[in-house]
Amino acid sequence: MNAHTKQHYKIITYGCQMNEHDAEILAGQLEELNYVPIDDETKADLIILVTCAVRENAEQRVYGKIGELYRLKQENPNLVLAVGGCMSQQSPVAKKMKQRFPYLDIIFGTHNLADFPNLLRAAEESQETVLELLDQEGDIREQLPRVRQDGLKAWTTIMYGCNNFCTYCIVPYVRGRERSRQPESIIAEVKELASRGYKEVTLLGQNVNSYGKDLDQNYDFADLLYAVNETGISRIRFTTSHPKDISPRLIEAMATCEHVMEHLHLPVQAGSNRILKAMNRRYTRERYLQLVEEIRTAIPHIALTTDIIVGFPGETEEE
């Protein structure tokens, strides 16, 4: 690629807010390479799919989209097609993609997002699909370029991965074990967002309540909320929370930090203790209800939302 030639890219994202955040990082790296975004995929020089493996519907949509892009590849052999994210982090799925869709140029996972420019260069020099998956998540790389959508709201990732291994969930296998960002890096990022006019930040993690457990210092999610509350940002949200890691100190922080919104997404997943145990959720329905009471006592007007899985293997109609 000529460094002085404007190339056009389009990123298509499936799934959660973490994938949206990953797409921002990919866009930042591409724009440093002189790429510019374009909505019309028929005029793109590079198309990236950021995929989701949590929901089967999202996987089927990805396969359908890859098939649909074959026509564009035929019309423009120089078009670079890349697939990344949680689907392709699974080695069997990535190999299946390579066999089923040999016209894909790049297949990459969740752990080598920061190396995408190198993968792109390798694809430009190769006649075969560049497939690179890293089994180990590695250290967190700060200061990666990113392109945020203009507006009032922004995402800030505070940690990566998950250690919970709920029996229905693939996230620990495709996102790796929990790794917390350093608090000073997070605080600096939120301050920068506030200075740019953003009014609301959502702190992202697969389980934000366990933030800090892997840090060398004694610093937890409640400490982070107190610190972010002083950054100048007007509204603070966070997702996702695990009931087993909600502490009295965290509830107190939510209640006393004036910029933390009175909303909590707290997935219950099931109402049967037997099913909760089978799911490896590590709390009971009684503990969940007690937690809700404690939260409502501290924050009377809080809006609580949840997730429920219906039809877990072995679950009865009564359950």
Is pLDDT larger for residue 278 or for residue 5? 278
Both 299 and 158 in one domain: the answer is yes
Both 65 and 198 in one domain: the answer is no
| 9-18, 229-238, 255-264, range with the lowest pLDDT | 9-18
Both 36 and 120 in one domain: the answer is yes
Both 159 and 297 in one domain: the answer is yes
- CATH of residue 118's domain is 3.40.50.12160
Mean pLDDT of 221-236: 98
Backbone φ and ψ of 45, nearest 5°: -95, -20
Write out pLDDT tens, residues 126-162: 878 888 877 666 666 667 888 887 789 999 999 999 9
Both 260 and 175 in one domain: the answer is yes
**Pairing outcome for strands 159-160 and 179-180:** antiparallel
pLDDT value at 3 more than 70: no
Rounded to an integer, what distance in angstroms lies between the CA atom of residue 214 and that of residue 221?
A: 12
The answer to whether the CB of 226 falls within 8 A of the CB of 220 is: no
Q: What is the CA radius of gyration of the chain?
A: 21
Both 297 and 169 in one domain: the answer is yes
Both 158 and 297 in one domain: the answer is yes
Residue 89 lies in a domain: yes
The per-residue pLDDT of the chain, averaged, comes to 92
Both 125 and 187 in one domain: the answer is no
Residue 87 lies in a domain: yes
pLDDT value at 224 more than 70: yes
Tell me the angle at which helices 221-228 and 248-256 cross, rounded to the nearest 10 degrees: 10
Residue 310 lies in a domain: no
How many domains in the chain? 2
| 1-10, 191-200, 268-277, range with the lowest pLDDT | 1-10
pLDDT confidence of residue 139: 63
Both 162 and 283 in one domain: the answer is yes
pLDDT confidence of residue 239: 94
Residue 147 lies in a domain: no
Cis upstream peptide for 51 (omega within 30°): no
State the CB neighbour count (10 A cutoff) for residue 70.
13
Residue 259 lies in a domain: yes
pLDDT confidence of residue 262: 98
Both 216 and 277 in one domain: the answer is yes
Write out pLDDT tens, residues 84-138: 999 999 989 999 999 999 999 999 988 888 899 999 999 988 878 888 877 666 6
Both 117 and 157 in one domain: the answer is no
Residues in the chain: 319
32 lies in which domain range? Answer: 7-132
Q: Provide the token pair at 246.
A: 């909600």
Burial class (CB in 10 A: 0-12, 13-18, 19+), 28: middle
Both 93 and 231 in one domain: the answer is no
